[in-house]
Structure 1
Amino acid sequence: MAAFGGHCMSAHRISANRRQWLESRLSERDRLVLDWVARLRLATGQQLEQLAFDDLSPSSLPVVRGRVLRRLVDWNLLELVDRRVGGSAKGSASGIYRLTAAGHAIALPAAARPTRPYTDRFTAHTIATSQLAADLVLALRRHPDYQLATYVTEPASWMPDGLGNYLKPDAYLRLQSASLTMHWWVEIDLGSESLPALERKLRNYLGFVARGLGGPSGTVPRVVLVVTSDGRLEAVTTLLRRLPYPATDLFTVCLSGRAVVTLLAAFDE
């Protein structure tokens, strides 16, 4: 399988004594943080706050978050990629985290890990994909009738396309209510890809459907295109109108700030 973001991969090992030491000390929250970083590849401290610390009171949240993230870094399970996140975030909230080799051995023992630095473009795109997960988890705490049953990113989100290649959505997610399950592939569009390139990607999805292939759990997910500007929203909407059936049923486009609302509104369609 291709390397994450085009970077080289390496095997990783951890001694039995070191593993036993870590396993005996990791808390449930530690494991939750590692699990999310494993699934997302990169996550900011603020995103991890939404994913793994939101049950805490506002006064204790930053203290506990900082303590947990520092501990996981000190134990060489997480590493800081950089501190370029802007805004008012400080300390552990401002960093971007990924698993170390030891972190991979604990959270993803069967997978290889990237060893070269991520590019700025790859980092921005991955963090945007992680943000959707964080926004969903936070929103669903206020909407207990829905559950986020699955959220995985590349390459776990990829599917064989029947032609010897892969469909490569940025993420696959499964949302559930008491009576309905919604499957979605996610394409995060930061506007850096040309419209012809995006059209080729969308036609690959249409070809997948035309070949009668099944997606995860045998169901072909709908595809949500998450864009970041009104201009891109208009351009992608126009592109979708030019595509053949079943494009209007398969694809949904929305602004990033409306992604969670769009996904939940599909339950009422």
Structure 2
Amino acid sequence: MNAPYVPGDGLPVGLPLGSPSDPSFSQVRGEPDSPSGTNTPHPPAAEPNPKRVSASRLAWVDDHLPERDRQVLEIVAAHRYLTTRQLERFVFTGHASEESAARTSRRVLARLERLQLLASLGRRVGGVRAGSSATVWQLTSASARLLRADGVGFRRHDPSPRFLRHCLAVADVNLAVRSLAGPARSVAVQVEPESWRPYLGPGGERRTLQPDLAAELTTDEYEERWFLEVDLGTESLPTLLRQCAQYEAYRNTGTEQAEHGSFPVVWWILTDDHRAERLTSAIRRAPRLTPALYRVTTFDRLRVAIEEAAS
């Protein structure tokens, strides 16, 4: 029987800490990033209205923000919502111990909250026992403005439980894929909308394939490319099969093959064995699907499954 999966708690398997050494978070080389640069100089006095960060104050923060703090904001922007524990595994690597990484992450996140660059949702995942590691973080209008020009119209939202769980589960899968990085292999991960693929349908209409993640693992000898879909049991089996049909339609355009030489394997990550077996069987029976294109696994088996696929 599978262990219950709580998004944001991390996958229920032993995962090495990810090590995103590139500030863009698109490339992982398995090398610990420098622990330096965690102390931000004190900015000018806050504005009278704490809900609004002035352009001058934001410019000052932008000039003095340490690179690792900026990485925190960028990875939160990519995933919309992340827990303290997830941010620790994405960014705060290379420490002597997990306790040291946890202390540093809490200190940095508290500072970013004081600077009005991060905001907590006011609720946690995994229950009260999960403690501060389960606090969920999101951007503020100030950090959205700092990261991108179109952040001016940014508004924070209180997500539905279903949407929040999905965002955190996708982040867990991202971490699992990144953990494959090592001295001899690199991993690149795209989060939506960067992972999306526009294409033309049979009638010339514009369509967009929208994987939760797209990943590429590269060594000196080979390259593995994957699309990854996360389902927490909220979609019906016919809906999942329709999504498989979209992959088939995109594959038939030949766009990915022309650019990369092959089409990525499509991974489905589901909540339990029963649901995984049903989808596997349905894919095999579907006359218009290509069973060899798909891999179906569960959250608690994902790490082992993708490691085997990458070996």
Q: TM-score range by the shorter chain?
A: 0.7 to 0.9
1:114 to 1:201, Cα distance in 2 relative to 1, 3 A: farther
The aligned residue for residue 103 of structure 2 is 63
Aligned mate of 1:247, from 290, 293, 298: 290
The aligned residue for residue 224 of structure 2 is 182
State the TM-score, normalizing by the size of structure 2: 0.73
1:215 to 1:123, Cα distance in 2 relative to 1, 3 A: farther
The aligned residue for residue 54 of structure 1 is 93
Q: Which has the higher contact order (CA 8 A, sep 6+)?
A: 2
1:196 to 1:81, Cα distance in 2 relative to 1, 3 A: same
The aligned residue for residue 265 of structure 2 is 222
Count of aligned pairs between the two proteins: 252
Q: CA deviation at 1:39?
A: 1.6
The aligned residue for residue 262 of structure 1 is 305
Question: Which secondary structure state, in structure 1, belongs to the residue aligned with residue 60 of structure 2?
Answer: helix
Identify the structure with the greater helix proportion: 1
Q: Deviations over 1:195-217 (max 9, x none)?
A: 01111111111111123232795
1:147 aligns with 2:189: no
Question: Which secondary structure state, in structure 2, belongs to the residue aligned with residue 90 of structure 1?
Answer: helix
Equivalent residue letter for 1:241: R
The aligned residue for residue 61 of structure 2 is 22
Identity percentage of aligned residues: 32
1:74 to 1:50, Cα distance in 2 relative to 1, 3 A: same
Contact 2:217-2:310 at 8 Å conserved across structures = no
CA distance in 1, matches of 2:193, 2:89: 23
CA distance in 1, matches of 2:54, 2:247: 44
Contact 1:180-1:267 at 8 Å conserved across structures = no
CA distance in 2, matches of 1:117, 1:224: 29
Contact 1:162-1:213 at 8 Å conserved across structures = no
Moved more, 105-114 or 218-227: 105-114
1:183 to 1:106, Cα distance in 2 relative to 1, 3 A: farther
Moved more, 194-203 or 58-67: 58-67
Q: CA deviation at 1:23?
A: 2.0
The aligned residue for residue 199 of structure 2 is 161
Q: Deviations over 1:43-89 (max 9, x none)?
A: 11111111111321333222211110011111111111243211643
Equivalent residue letter for 2:82: A
Q: Deviations over 1:192-251 (max 9, x none)?
A: 100011111111111111232327955532211001101111111111212347622221
1:23 to 1:89, Cα distance in 2 relative to 1, 3 A: same
Contact 1:38-1:108 at 8 Å conserved across structures = no
The aligned residue for residue 192 of structure 1 is 234
Question: Which secondary structure state, in structure 1, belongs to the residue aligned with residue 226 of structure 2?
Answer: strand
The aligned residue for residue 236 of structure 1 is 279
State the TM-score, normalizing by the size of structure 1: 0.84
1:119 aligns with 2:119: no
Equivalent residue letter for 1:235: R
CA distance in 2, matches of 1:32, 1:51: 9
CA distance in 2, matches of 1:115, 1:81: 10
CA distance in 1, matches of 2:148, 2:308: 34
Contact 2:180-2:307 at 8 Å conserved across structures = no
The aligned residue for residue 136 of structure 1 is 177
Aligned mate of 1:102, from 131, 142, 152: 142
CA distance in 2, matches of 1:135, 1:127: 13
For structure 2, list consecutive stretches of 5 or more residues without a partner in the other structure.
1-51
Equivalent residue letter for 1:158: W
Equivalent residue letter for 2:209: L
CA distance in 1, matches of 2:282, 2:87: 35
CA distance in 2, matches of 1:245, 1:168: 20
